[in-house]
Amino acid sequence: MLLAIDSGNTNIKWGIHDEHRWLVMNVTPQNSFTVLADSWQSLPPLTQIFISNVAGIGIQEAVSEIIPVSASKPVWIEAVVSECGLYNNYYQSKSLGSDRWAAMVSVWNRYHEPCLIVSLGTAMTIDMVSESGDFVGGIITPGVKVLSNALVEKTCLPKADSGIYDSFSLSTENALFTGTIDALVGVIEKSHHAMLSKYGYKSVRCILSGGDSNIIYPHLNLQFEIIDNLVLNGLVTIAQSRKGL
C-alpha cells in the first residue's frame, strides 16, 4: 500500500494506492498539519511512502513529523537524470522541481509521444517532452491569481475577481482579467508552436492540470486534455519502478 504526497505551494494533495487503483484521494490546505495528522491516523498498513515537496525545508520538516509509520523509509523524490523512460536534460538535474518531474513521468508513461504539459496553480509551468522521452525544456510564469494580484499590489487597479473575459473590455476589472488570461494563453500557445516548429512534429499532445485549468481552457485555440493529479500519478509510477529494482 502506497501513500503518495504532493506538497505544493498552496495545498497538500495525497492519496492511498494499492498498486491497481486509488483507494483514497484528498487535498488539505498547506500548513493544516493537525488535519493531516488526524487523517493519517486511520490509514491502512503502508509499504511505501513517496513524497514530492516544493514548499521548502520548513514544510518538509513539518510533514516529516506527522508521516505515519510504514514498512519502508519515506522517499522524498528529486528529479534525476533518467527514470521510467524519461530523460532529464536540465543543466542541473536535481534543480528541476520534483512536482514537474513527477508530472512528466506520469504523462510520458501514459502516452509515449510528444507532449506539452501545463500545470496551472500558484505558478504556471510548461514542460516539453519529445517523441524520444527527452525533457527538452520548460517555462515558469506566475499563475492566474499571482499574475493579476501583482498589478493590484503595485498599482491602484481594482482586483480582477469580479472581472469577466472580454476582448473589448469596457471596465478595468474586465480588462485586467482578460489581460491576465491572454498573457498566459499566449505563453501556452507559443510553446506549443515552438515544439511544432523546432522538431517538425505534426502534432503535440497538450495536457492541462492544476486548479486553474478551468479558467484557461475555454480560451485556448488548440486541442488539449485536462488530467488531474499528475504529480500523484507520477509518484505511483516512480514508486512502482523503484520497487522493481
**86 in a domain, yes or no?**
no
Catalytic center residues: 99
* C-alpha–C-alpha distance, residues 125 and 207, integer Å: 12
Do 198 and 133 share a structural domain? Answer: yes
* Cell numbers representing residue 231 in the block: 504529480
Q: Is residue 207 part of a domain?
A: yes
Check whether residue 65 and residue 122 sit in a common domain: no
- Residues 69, 123 within the same domain: no
- Do residue 54 and residue 133 come from a single domain? no
Contact 18, 47 (CB under 8 A): no
Tell me if 106 is assigned to some domain.
no
* Domain assignment of residue 57, given as a range: 2-76
Give the model confidence (pLDDT) of 163-175 as tens digits: 899 999 999 899 9
Domains in the chain, number = 2
pLDDT in tens, 135-184: 999 999 999 999 988 888 878 777 777 889 999 999 989 999 999 999 99
Instruction: Compute the chain's Rg from CA coordinates.
Output: 19
Domain membership of residue 93 (yes or no) is no
Do 209 and 147 share a structural domain?
yes
pLDDT for 165 equals 94
Same domain, yes or no, for 127 and 70? Answer: no
94 in Cβ contact with 47 (< 8 Å): no
Asked if residue 224 and residue 163 are part of one domain, the reply reads yes
d(CA 187, CA 123): 13
User: Is residue 21 domain-resident?
Assistant: yes
**Per-residue CA distances from 156 to 55, 126, 143 (Å):** 30, 31, 21
- Identify whether 11 is part of a domain: yes
User: Domain containing 117 — which CATH number?
Assistant: 3.30.420.40
| Shared-domain flag, residues 119 and 219 | yes
Same domain, 45 and 129: no
pLDDT tens, position by position, 27-63: 999 989 999 999 998 898 999 999 999 999 999 999 9
Task: Say if 100 falls within a structural domain.
Answer: no
Q: How confident is the prediction for the chain on average, in pLDDT?
A: 93
Do 56 and 125 have their domain in common?
no
Q: How far apart are CA 151 and CA 136, in angstroms?
A: 32
- Shared domain for 138 and 202, answered yes or no, is yes
Lookup: cell for 87: 530523460
Distance CA 101, CA 134 (A): 12
Contacts of residues 75-79 at CB distance under 8 Å and 24 or more positions apart, as own/partner, are: 75/48, 75/49, 75/50, 75/51, 75/239, 75/242, 76/51, 76/52, 77/50, 77/51, 77/52, 77/101, 77/102, 77/235, 77/238
| Residue 242, in any domain of the structure | no
